[in-house]
Amino acid sequence: MSGSLLAARDVRMAFGGVVALDGASIEVRPGCVTGLIGRNGSGKSTLFNCLTGFLKPTAGVVELDGRDITGRSPHEVMRAGVARTFQTPRIDFQTTGRQAVLCGLYPRVEHGFLASLLGLPRATREERVLQRHADEVVERMQMQAWSASKVHELSMGRLRTVEVARAIAADARFMLLDEPAAGIGRDEIRVLADEIRGLADRGIGVLLVEHNFSLIRMLCDDVTVLDTGIVIFRGTPDEARRNDLVRQLYLGAAAAGEAA
Amino acid sequence: MTWRTSRRRNTWIMLAVAVVACAVAPWKPVWLDTVVLTGILALISLSAGLSFGQAGILSMAQGTFAAIGAYATAVCTTRLGLPAWAGLPLAIALPAVLAWVLARMVTRMPELATALATLALATLLEIVARNWDAVTGGYVGIAGIPPVEGFAVGWRFNILVWTFVVLAVLVYENLMNSAHGRALNIVRHDRTRAMADGVAVAPLLSAMLATSGAMAGAGGWLYAHYITYMSPQSLDTVASISALLMAVVGGAGYILGPVVGTFLLSLLGKLLPAQEAQGLFYGGALILILVMAPEGLLGWIHRRFEKKAAREPAAVAGTAAEPERPARTLETAP
């Protein structure tokens, strides 16, 4: 099919004798939020890393807009429009939120290293443009009040916002979020949910790896459930909730986890 | 816009220091010699600061890059009879190319392995210099390197040296004010993060190390024409390590850190008593500095000013309103 689409097809990933993914497929469409859920060790992170170029699948294909991008390096995948966040935010804690956003703008840079060294006019001009873009992103993500604070002073929720802002700064068309709600409070989850919905409304295709099923229900248009490296279900969140296999293998465990 | 918010803050400070150095030094011949050598070492130390402080590449080959620059110009001027200025492009380009190739090969390795690989290269090239009699003169070295045309007099040469230092700081500061400079800092902090930001790590590090090699090569060019003699012992591994030490003592993460460190350690060398006991005092002072200020002297000063700012709410509001500044550059005059 044509049009914008990020997809993994029959991806198999083996680490030595351990098979983490066994023919898993997933599609992420622009303007939609796709959920990816499963128990710990079910292969969610492996699939996530295959999609973003951090892992090269043993077999199978990763496609972006119909083009084969299997085995491309992470920075190439990023430059092609697929951005990611990390489960544990990887930020230099001595920088500010705005500086983190500036770092995310790197793929937009057109001037070379030498032009930077010599301080050529086009390098200075582009730097001014980047600074302006950073302000725009800060404004769009409503970070103005605290974007000048050092990152180590921020709450986990704001840290996640910084991560998302950094990832979308360079106009990513696809956004892969690795457990963005892990370790943050209820109010902050609500803010985050609005942000994620906002990404999809702007036409970005979002993949959400998440343990919090209520967040999945709130946000996702469809959901893929992984177990032991195999896709056991694909459909809407409500269908997933009614599906016996999903309830037995995943939701039961999650419900037990929530009760504890 | 004041000097504190200027994008070329470090360059302006460096220019002021260089002007003072050039004006004061000629009063006494001993001063002049110290100031010239300090400037040359500062240049090599700046190259170490760029690679270690900004990109986290612990290069033990900065002295070697300088030596290649020095040998290049020594061979050009003594064997081929070319003027000193003709040796300059080669003295800058040769170490830059070598550093680029080296970075391509070693930066995939973990940090310590990279450091050892650069050390291995330094050792290897030292052996080559000792044995390649036809070109490097072997153990004997190359004597009779002519002075730089137009800069043969001491005070003039001093101005030339400090012009190079100011230019190196300018280039360095330009880089750190740009997206490529920020990308280097991301790579130092976390390579995985850098890849996710769309940074092509290997080419970026190669360009950085080539720049650093070029700076060191320029230092070697000045060295050769000042000392007029070049041998395998002139700019050896000890020089690489002391260039790194000077950068770390001054504050490798700060643009002017290496310059401050070079001044400090040169001064220490002059003030300390007798030659035999010097190593003892030198080492002791070094340990003291690194224990008290692990981020170098400028890091220590920076921290004190941050604390002071935190105590004065008005000052905090002032800094928050200032335009974005690149991380970890000089916050205050040394």
- Please write down the HEC assignment for all residues of A25-63: EEEECCCCEEEEEECCCCCHHHHHHHHCCCCCCCEEEEE
Chain-centroid distance, C-alpha B253: 12
Residue B327 belongs to some domain of the structure: no
| Residues of chain A contacting residue B320, judged by C-beta atoms under 8 Å apart | 148
d(CA A78, CA A38): 25
Q: Which of A174-188, A220-234, A239-253 has the lowest mean pLDDT?
A: A239-253
Mean pLDDT for B231-245 is 87
Is A258's pLDDT higher than 60?
no
The pLDDT, as a whole number, for residue A74 is 92
> Which of B170, B186, B320 lies nearest to residue A148, judging by beta carbons?
B320
The pLDDT, as a whole number, for residue A255 is 53
Q: Which residue has the tokens 């890849």?
A: B195
The amino acid at residue A135 is D
The pLDDT, as a whole number, for residue B275 is 65
The pLDDT, as a whole number, for residue A151 is 87
Q: Which residues pair with A175 in a beta bridge?
A: A83, A206
Asked whether B130 and B138 are in contact (CB, 8 A), the reply is yes
pLDDT (tens digit per residue) in B321-330: 444 444 444 4
pLDDT (tens digit per residue) in B161-216: 999 999 999 999 999 999 999 999 999 988 889 999 999 999 999 999 999 999 99
Residue B3 belongs to some domain of the structure: no
Q: State both tokens at B8.
A: 């070329």
Mean pLDDT for A36-50 is 88
Nearest-Cα distance to chain A for B262, in Å, is: 23
Burial class from Cβ neighbours inside 10 Å (0-12, 13-18, 19+) for residue A63 reads: middle
The pLDDT, as a whole number, for residue B315 is 44
Asked whether A166 and A97 are in contact (CB, 8 A), the reply is no
The pLDDT, as a whole number, for residue B325 is 43
Q: Which residue has the tokens 């990763």?
A: A62
What domain range includes position B208? 9-321
A123 touches chain B (CB under 8 A): yes
What is the band of B4 on the pLDDT scale with cuts at 50, 70, 90? low
The pLDDT, as a whole number, for residue A259 is 40
Is A222's pLDDT higher than 60?
yes
d(CA B12, CA B4): 10
CB contact residues (below 8 A), chain B span 183-212, against chain A: 183, 185-186, 189-190, 192-201, 204, 207-208, 211
| Residues of chain B contacting residue A133, judged by C-beta atoms under 8 Å apart | none
Residue B255 belongs to some domain of the structure: yes
d(CA B271, CA B278): 10
Select from B170, B150, B169 the least CA-distant residue to B160: B150
d(CA B16, CA B14): 5
Sheet of A82-84, strand order: A82-84, A174-178, A205-209, A33-38, A222-227, A230-235
pLDDT (tens digit per residue) in B282-310: 777 778 877 888 888 888 888 888 888 77
How far is residue A214 from each of residues A199, A244, B135, B183, measured CA to CA in Å? Answer: 19, 18, 74, 37
| A94 to B328: CB separation less than 8 angstroms, yes or no | yes
The pLDDT, as a whole number, for residue B306 is 81
How far is residue B253 from each of residues A134, B11, B15, B49, B331, measured CA to CA in Å? Answer: 24, 16, 20, 7, 12
| Confidence (pTM) | 0.87
What is the band of A260 on the pLDDT scale with cuts at 50, 70, 90? very low
Helix H or strand E encompassing A207: strand A205-209
Residue B334 belongs to some domain of the structure: no
Residue B2 belongs to some domain of the structure: no
Is A36's pLDDT higher than 70?
yes
Into how many domains does chain B fold? 1
| B324 to A73: CB separation less than 8 angstroms, yes or no | no
Rounded percentage of chain B residues whose pLDDT exceeds 70 = 90
Is A117's pLDDT higher than 70?
yes
CB contact residues (below 8 A), chain A span 151-170, against chain B: 166-167, 170
What does the mean pLDDT of chain B come to? 85
List, in order, residues 6 or more apart from B64 with CB less than 8 Å away.
Answer: B121, B122, B125, B126, B235, B237, B240
A14 touches chain B (CB under 8 A): no
List, in order, residues 6 or more apart from B42 with CB less than 8 Å away.
Answer: B165, B246, B258, B259, B262, B263
Residues B284-294: b if buried by 16+ CB within 10 A, e if exposed: eebeebeeebe
The alpha carbons of chain A give a radius of gyration, in whole angstroms, of 19
Rounded percentage of chain B residues whose pLDDT exceeds 90 = 44
Q: State both tokens at A224.
A: 């893929």
Rounded percentage of chain A residues whose pLDDT exceeds 70 = 95
Select from B100, B52, B76, B101 the least CA-distant residue to B247: B52
User: What count of CB pairs under 8 Å joins A to B?
Assistant: 97
| B327 to A91: CB separation less than 8 angstroms, yes or no | no
d(CA B60, CA A178): 39
Phi, psi of B315 (to 5 degrees): -65, -35
The amino acid at residue A12 is R
The pLDDT, as a whole number, for residue A88 is 83
> The dihedral of CA B186, A55, A183, A36: what is its sign?
positive
pLDDT (tens digit per residue) in B6-37: 788 999 999 999 999 888 888 888 888 889 99
Asked whether B218 and B164 are in contact (CB, 8 A), the reply is yes
The pLDDT, as a whole number, for residue B316 is 44
Residue B87 belongs to some domain of the structure: yes
Residue B60 belongs to some domain of the structure: yes
Residue B329 belongs to some domain of the structure: no
| A117 to B201: CB separation less than 8 angstroms, yes or no | no
How far is residue B205 from each of residues B18, B101, B183, B201, B324, measured CA to CA in Å? Answer: 30, 11, 10, 6, 25
Mean pLDDT for A17-45 is 89
Nearest-Cα distance to chain A for B173, in Å, is: 8
Select from B209, B291, B295, B202 the least CA-distant residue to B257: B295
Mean pLDDT for A237-260 is 70
The pLDDT, as a whole number, for residue B31 is 85
Q: State both tokens at B179.
A: 């997206």
